[in-house]
C-alpha cells in the first residue's frame, strides 16, 4: 500500500509547465474550474486506500478521515489514531489494538500533543509515526494536569500517563473494543493559532494590499487555522489552495514562473498564506477589476475565492460580458443579496456570509 501511495503522490503533486500570461486581462477558469479528472481520481484514491486499511480495524461506522477543519492521523497499523476537531477544540486519541492497548494509546497521546508545527513532518495518508521535531504546534493550546503548556517529551509522557489513569474511556464498536481519551484545548485555542500566523498575515496583507481581517476571516472559514487541512477537492493548508487552479494562477500571474505549487509548498504556512492572499489580489485586480463599486467587488472577490469568478458572473447572466454589466448596475446590497441567494452553488452562498461575519469580528478584535 505504501508504494501505491508514493506513486500516487508523485503523480499528483508534480508541476506541469504552463506558459506565462501577458499583462492583459486574463479570462479566469469558469465557475471555479476544479482539478483535472486525473488529479481528482488520484486524490480520491489516496483517501480510498487510507479508508480501506483503517476500516479493517474500525469498521465503516467508526472510520474518520481528515478534512478542512479536522485532522486525523492513523498509527500502529491503522489501529490507533488521533482525531483533532479544530472547530470544537477537541482532541480524541483512540485505539482498537487488543495487544498492549494502553502502551499504544500512551505513545499516540505523546505524538499528538508534541505534533510539529511544520505540516511537512506529518504524513496523513500512512500509519507512519509523527516526527517530533521543532516547537510543538499545540504549545499554549493544550495544558497538562497542572495547567502548564506541554513542550518537552518528559512532560508529554507524564500527561499521557495521567490521562490514561484518570480519563480513560472505552466503547464497543463492531470491530471490537475501543479505548480513548478526550483532550480539551484551552478556551482561546483559536486565538492561540491565530497568533502563530500574525506576522505572516501582516506581511501578506502589506505585499498584496489585502486587508488583514479578510485574510484571517478566509483562514478561519477555510480551515479554522488548521495548517494540516486537506480536502477531497485537493485543497491544502490554512487557506485551502488548490494547486491546479489558484496555485497555478499565482505562479503564472504573480510569481512569473511556470507550473503549480506542490503539496509540500502549500503545507508550509508562509507559502500557503502568501499564495492564498496573492490569489485574492488576482481576483481583486485582474479577474474582477471591472466591478466598479468597491463593496460589490469585495463581495464578488470573497465569493470567487470559493467558487471561481465564473460562478460569480453566472449569478447575474450566462454571458460573461452581460453579467458584468448587470452586476455593475446593481447596488452593493443587491449584489450581496444575489450572491447569497441566487448563486448557483449553495456552498458559495453560505461562504460569503461566513467570511463577512468573521471579517467583522476580526476587524473589531472579537476573535
> Smallest Cα–Cα separation from 143: which of 188, 107, 103?
188
pLDDT of residue 37: 54
Domain closes at, from 187, 216, 250:
187
C-alpha–C-alpha distance, residues 48 and 149, integer Å: 36
Domain closes at, from 159, 187, 215:
187
CATH number of the domain at 256, please: 1.10.530.10
pLDDT of residue 10: 35
The grid coordinates listed for 166 are: 484518570
The verdict on residue 35 lying in a domain is no
pLDDT of residue 122: 78
Domain closes at, from 187, 208, 242:
187
Number of domains in the chain: 2
Same-domain check for residues 159 and 258: no
Question: Concatenated DSSP letters for 194-263?
Answer: HHHTHHHHHHHHHHHT--HHHHHHHHHHHHSS-TT-B-TT--BTTTTB-IIIIIHHIIIIIS--SS---H
The verdict on residue 15 lying in a domain is no
Same-domain check for residues 115 and 240: no
Same-domain check for residues 147 and 171: yes
Mean pLDDT, residues 256-277 taken together: 95
Same-domain check for residues 157 and 52: yes
C-alpha–C-alpha distance, residues 193 and 186, integer Å: 11
The verdict on residue 10 lying in a domain is no
Q: What is the pLDDT of residues 74-126, one digit of tens each?
A: 999 999 999 999 999 999 999 999 999 999 999 999 999 999 988 877 788 89
Q: How far is CA 51 from CA 67, 100, 159, in A?
A: 13, 24, 30
Q: What average pLDDT does the chain have?
A: 88
- DSSP structure class, residue 149: B
Domain housing 53: 44-187
Same-domain check for residues 48 and 100: yes
Same-domain check for residues 105 and 207: no
Same-domain check for residues 113 and 157: yes
Amino acid at each position: 500500500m505504501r508504494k501505491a501511495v508514493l506513486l500516487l503522490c508523485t503523480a499528483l503533486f508534480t508541476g506541469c509547465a504552463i506558459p506565462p500570461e501577458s499583462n492583459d486581462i486574463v479570462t479566469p477558469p469558469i465557475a471555479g474550474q476544479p482539478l483535472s479528472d486525473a488529479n481528482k481520481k488520484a486524490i480520491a484514491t489516496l483517501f480510498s486506500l487510507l479508508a480501506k486499511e483503517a476500516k479493517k480495524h474500525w469498521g465503516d461506522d467508526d472510520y474518520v478521515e481528515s478534512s478542512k477543519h479536522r485532522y486525523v492521523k492513523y498509527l500502529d497499523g491503522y489501529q490507533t489514531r488521533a482525531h483533532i476537531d479544530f472547530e470544537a477544540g477537541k482532541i480524541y486519541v483512540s485505539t482498537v489494538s487488543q495487544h498492549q492497548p494502553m502502551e499504544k494509546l500512551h505513545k499516540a497521546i505523546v505524538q499528538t500533543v508534541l505534533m510539529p508545527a511544520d505540516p511537512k513532518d506529518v504524513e496523513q495518508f500512512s500509519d507512519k509515526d509523527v516526527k517530533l521535531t521543532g516547537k510543538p504546534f499545540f504549545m499554549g493550546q493544550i495544558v497538562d494536569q497542572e495547567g502548564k503548556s506541554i513542550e518537552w517529551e518528559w512532560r508529554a509522557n507524564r500527561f499521557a500517563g495521567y490521562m490514561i489513569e484518570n480519563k480513560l474511556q472505552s466503547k464497543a464498536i463492531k470491530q471490537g473494543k475501543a479505548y480513548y481519551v478526550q483532550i480539551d484545548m484551552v478556551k482561546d485555542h483559536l486565538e492561540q493559532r491565530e497568533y502563530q500566523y500574525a506576522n505572516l498575515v501582516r506581511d501578506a496583507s502589506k505585499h498584496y494590499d489585502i486587508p488583514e481581517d479578510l485574510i484571517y476571516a478566509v483562514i478561519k472559514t477555510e480551515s479554522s487555522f488548521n495548517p494540516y487541512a486537506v480536502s477531497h477537492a485537493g485543497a491544502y493548508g490554512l487557506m485551502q489552495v488548490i494547486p491546479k487552479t489558484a496555485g497555478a494562477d499565482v505562479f503564472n500571474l504573480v510569481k512569473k514562473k511556470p507550473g503549480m505549487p506542490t503539496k509540500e509548498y502549500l503545507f508550509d504556512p508562509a507559502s500557503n498564506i502568501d499564495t492564498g492572499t496573492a490569489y485574492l489580489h488576482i481576483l481583486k485586480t485582474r479577474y474582477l477589476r471591472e466591478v466598479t463599486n468597491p463593496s460589490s467587488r469585495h463581495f464578488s472577490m470573497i465569493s470567487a475565492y470559493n467558487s471561481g469568478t465564473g460562478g460569480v458572473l453566472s449569478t447575474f447572466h450566462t454571458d460573461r460580458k452581460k453579467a458584468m454589466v448587470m452586476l455593475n448596475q446593481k447596488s452593493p446590497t443587491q449584489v450581496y443579496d444575489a450572491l447569497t441567494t441566487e448563486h448557483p452553488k449553495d456552498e458559495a452562498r453560505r461562504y460569503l456570509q461566513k467570511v463577512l461575519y468573521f471579517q467583522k469580528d476580526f476587524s473589531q478584535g472579537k476573535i
